[in-house]
Chains A and B, each alone.
Chain A
Amino acid sequence: MKKLWVPLLLLLLVAADLFIGSVRLPFSDVWSAITGNEVSEFTCRIVWNFRIPKMITALLAGMSLAVCGAQMQTLFRNPLADPYVLGISSGAGLGVAFFVMGSSLLGIGSVVRWLSDLGTASFAWLGALGVMLIVVAASARLKSNMTLLILGIMIGYAGSALIGLIQYFSDAPALKSYVLWTMGSFGNVTGTRLIIMTVLCITGLLISIYNIKDLNVLLMGEQYATSLGIPVRRIRNRIFLATTLLAGSVTAFCGPIGFIGIAVPHLTRMIFNNTNHRVLIPASALIGACMMILADIISQLPGSGSVLPVNTVAALMGIPVIIYVILKNRAVRL
């Protein structure tokens, strides 16, 4: 009950995200659009086609990345682990690089442009899934989580190297499209894309809730988990499934949004003073959503008419928080 301010803050930020945007609209008009009262079509379209989908996307992205980061940090018992530690981001990036830049190399750029953004999301998702399948296949052979962590990092580097190679040979417009994707955006997730992302993220979040009991034991080491008769490899794969659904979907639809996944679990541990996953998972989801929506509000540069890349804003906004956590606790521990 003492931490009731966290969900209240989230409600406040959700409201702020709806009322404040790059286009200046009177509060009363936004309220009228939400409640279905008479208002101009322009306002109605901005609220329902842009602000509400963007707020839901930010909410889902923040929750997903934070919950994912908490699970990765516990599984690998490593405070530096994040949703992308197993190469999901590189896999998704590679998928997008093939789609955006590879197409121009193959001379089918106009066809690809016609395929629209859903194509980007599909390729990103396929790339992330491909990497995760490699990791799961390796997981069947590798006993130690630490060895698997190193393998994931290596896959990530390999993906980045391949992306670099594609970038080197691609033309300027394709390169620009790819760079813009890496900066992250919530603006393109509407309609069918929003429905697909919502279903995937909610499935991932439900699996994460189911993982809570096992995560609490894994926090005390693999050996202890094994001594309790827990099938560590099976649970590891279940955590990977949740990660693919959560981080893979967010990356596919919004681009690789860094920082939230690594920082929010630490911030949550500090605020709630508890690493029990029954508290950590839902609390990370709440704080992740708060951070992401705040980053979204700032990135809109309210009233200015222009928008900043959300990835950059999230990092610039959050790095001071992490430095404060480190300085306050003198160390980052799990």
Chain B
Amino acid sequence: MSHILDISNLAIGYSKKAPLLQDINCRLVCGTVTGILGPNGIGKSTLLKTIAGLLPPLHGSVSFIGTRKVMDICAFVPSQPVRATHFSVEDTVSTGRYRYTNWLGIEKREGWQIILQALESTGISHLAGRNSADLSDGEFHRVAIARALVQDTPWILLDEPTAFLDIANKKATGALLRKLASDKQKGILFSTHDLSLAAEYCDRFWIMTPDGVFHQGTPDEMEKTGIIEQLY
């Protein structure tokens, strides 16, 4: 089991005086899908960004056992990815191959195969040549997921990946994340407000409640505690 996510005594937020959440302790292995649930403003995105190394922890540590550099281990998909105009979908996805391309950013032939596979698995092959600016929010979110896939990291962290998607695409995205965990042994961690989607595709839940407590367990375990009922 390589690249185990190990979180120890973690406190997250933007001020040491008022952390959003503290005393977070957990361990996750690759090959699992974990959903982060909780009301708006509780710190789900902050937690994901802290794990991805985009925000410093206020206290404690986040580490991936078996590696030193978080950025080589985690791909992060933000809730509102920035898009460039006059930049094709294919080129947008190819920027995810940053560490594999030459000094000018030119991709090798096998790299293009990986990009085409990512476009196919996210169901956007037909959009490859389109201008990113012309896509709907939902379509561009799938571009951002494809971009994370081509980074070829053991972990993928996603901030509300289904927020802009219709029901069919929500299910397709959930199934894709599940498949990545099962077939490619990737660790998937995503925040969501969609309880039914999370229940269908997640192995574990992390639930953040307004009283500042961090709960974790399987969906069944969490349901038995009554926390989910309390939240929704």
Q: Does A212 contact B (CB under 8 A)?
A: yes
Interface size class of B (residues with CB under 8 A): 20 to 34
Give A270's nearest chain B residue, CB to CB. B86
Q: Does B65 contact A (CB under 8 A)?
A: no
CB-based contact A278/B86 at 8 Å: no
Give A215's nearest chain B residue, CB to CB. B105
Q: Does A317 contact B (CB under 8 A)?
A: no
Centre residue among B72, B81, B85, B103 by max chain A CB count within 10 A: B85
Q: Which of B92-100, B174-182, B205-213, B224-232 contacts A (4 or more CB under 8 A)?
A: B92-100
Known A-B contacts A221-B82, A223-B54, A333-B85; the reply to A276 vs B91 at CB < 8 A is yes
CB-based contact B81/A220 at 8 Å: yes
CB-based contact B91/A213 at 8 Å: no
Q: Does B87 contact A (CB under 8 A)?
A: yes
CB-based contact B104/A278 at 8 Å: yes
Q: Which of A13-21, A226-234, A253-261, A295-303 contacts B (4 or more CB under 8 A)?
A: A226-234
Q: Does A22 contact B (CB under 8 A)?
A: no
A contact residues around B76 at 8 Å (CB):
223, 227
CB-based contact B103/A229 at 8 Å: no
CB-based contact A213/B104 at 8 Å: yes
CB-based contact A227/B71 at 8 Å: yes
In the assembled complex, how far is the CB of residue A267 from the closest CB belonging to chain B, in whole angstroms? Answer: 13
Q: Does B83 contact A (CB under 8 A)?
A: yes
Known A-B contacts A276-B87, A278-B104; the reply to A220 vs B99 at CB < 8 A is no
CB-based contact A228/B81 at 8 Å: no
* Cα–Cα distance between A274 and B84 once the two chains are bound (Å): 10
CB-based contact B84/A220 at 8 Å: yes
B contact residues around A226 at 8 Å (CB):
53-54, 71
* Cα–Cα distance between A217 and B88 once the two chains are bound (Å): 13
Known A-B contacts A275-B87, A334-B85; the reply to A220 vs B95 at CB < 8 A is yes
CB-based contact A223/B86 at 8 Å: no
Q: Does B78 contact A (CB under 8 A)?
A: yes
Q: Does B133 contact A (CB under 8 A)?
A: yes
* Cα–Cα distance between A180 and B167 once the two chains are bound (Å): 66
Give A333's nearest chain B residue, CB to CB. B85
Mark each residue of chain B from 63 to 85: 1 if its CB lies under 8 Å from any CB of chain A, else 0: 00000010110111010011111
A contact residues around B85 at 8 Å (CB):
269, 275, 333-334
Q: Does B52 contact A (CB under 8 A)?
A: yes
CB-based contact B87/A224 at 8 Å: no
CB-based contact A269/B84 at 8 Å: no
CB-based contact B78/A223 at 8 Å: yes
CB-based contact A213/B101 at 8 Å: yes
Q: Does A160 contact B (CB under 8 A)?
A: no
Interface residues of A in 200-236 (CB under 8 A from B): 209-210, 212-213, 216-217, 219-221, 223-224, 226-230
* Cα–Cα distance between A272 and B83 once the two chains are bound (Å): 18
Q: Which of A217, A227, A278 contacts B75 (CB 8 A)?
A: A227
CB-based contact A210/B105 at 8 Å: no
Centre residue among B54, B74, B78, B105 by max chain A CB count within 10 A: B105
* Cα–Cα distance between A272 and B78 once the two chains are bound (Å): 29
B contact residues around A217 at 8 Å (CB):
95, 98
* Cα–Cα distance between A229 and B105 once the two chains are bound (Å): 15
Q: Does B151 contact A (CB under 8 A)?
A: yes
Q: Given A77-B82, A223-B82, list of 18 further CB < 8 A pairs?
A: A212-B105, A217-B98, A219-B87, A220-B81, A220-B84, A221-B81, A223-B54, A224-B82, A226-B54, A226-B71, A227-B71, A229-B69, A229-B99, A275-B85, A276-B86, A278-B105, A333-B85, A334-B84
